[in-house]
Amino acid sequence: MLRLVGVLGLLENVGVGRVIDDILMVALCYAEHEIKEQVLYIPF
Asked if pLDDT for residue 44 goes beyond 80, the answer is no
- Is residue 28 situated within a structural domain? yes
Output phi, psi for 5, to 5 deg. -80, -45
Collapsing DSSP to helix, strand or coil, 39 comes out as strand
- Is residue 1 situated within a structural domain? no
What domain count does the chain have?
A: 1
pLDDT of residue 28: 93
Of the chain, the end-to-end C-alpha distance in Å amounts to: 30
Confirm if 35 and 7 have CB atoms less than 8 A apart: no
CA distance 31 to 34: 5
- Is residue 29 situated within a structural domain? yes
- Is residue 2 situated within a structural domain? no
Question: Which domain, by its residues, includes 38?
Answer: 7-42
- Is residue 30 situated within a structural domain? yes
41's enclosing H/E stretch is strand 39-42
- Is residue 14 situated within a structural domain? yes
pLDDT digits (tens, 9 = 90+) for 1-39: 666 667 888 888 888 898 889 889 988 998 888 888 888
